[in-house]
Chain A
Amino acid sequence: MEPNKISIVVVSGAFERLQMAAMVASVGAVSGNEVRVFLSMNAMPFFLRGDQKLPPAEGPFGTLMSGKNVPAFRSLFENAVELGDAKVYPCSMAMDVMGIEREALEPYLSEPMGLTKFLHDVRNSQVWSF
């Protein structure tokens, strides 16, 4: 049976949105779906190699989560890649704007990608955005 394709575009740097994107990616990937994530804009700074800075909460739920043992969004993206079929692509435009190379990013990320290819890849896919 052909797997479902789930594509996730993440541009937010807010805790709740990064967390939700990570949850969709990880649960989606371990459930047999083909998950492709595109990171850009305010999400990018949170995927620098070794950087554990916490994204700000944008509402009361973020504050609530901070006091609880919820899995770290970075771990969930890593779980998605390691335990299922997920790939996390950093946006090449955002990397250019930030002036960074692939080595500056987390090792579980795939190669940089541009929108032309991503839009082609998601043409028959369920698309989520955060």
Chain B
Amino acid sequence: MSERKVIDARGSFCPGPLMELIGWMKMAAVGDELELLSTDKGSASDVPEWVNKVGHQFIGTREEAGVWHITVKKAK
């Protein structure tokens, strides 16, 4: 069964949120979902780029009151 881990990187600037996500991805199991919270707009596009580049699965992004919620799934 997969777990969803929430990574709170609010208040941190690029590339902080991406690095935090990657650190957690390394520890996650294949199939795990991670939700990154970021107030940094740049990260909202950086993360999907990175996910596509390295071959994980981008689930989606939504923005709520200035906070981006970016969900990715570890695919390998």
Contacts and interface: CB of A to CB of B under 8 A. Distances in A.
A97 interface: no
Contact of A83 (B13, B14, B26): B26
A76 interface: yes
Dominant secondary structure of chain B at its interface with chain A: helix
B12 A69 contact: yes
Contacts of A70: 13, 16
B60 interface: no
B50 A76 contact: no
Given A70-B13, A71-B13, A79-B23, 10 more contacts: A27-B46, A30-B50, A31-B50, A32-B54, A69-B11, A69-B16, A75-B19, A76-B15, A79-B22, A83-B19
Q: Which 8 pairs between the two chains have the least Cβ-Cβ distance?
A: A71-B16, A70-B13, A79-B19, A83-B22, A27-B15, A69-B11, A30-B22, A31-B53
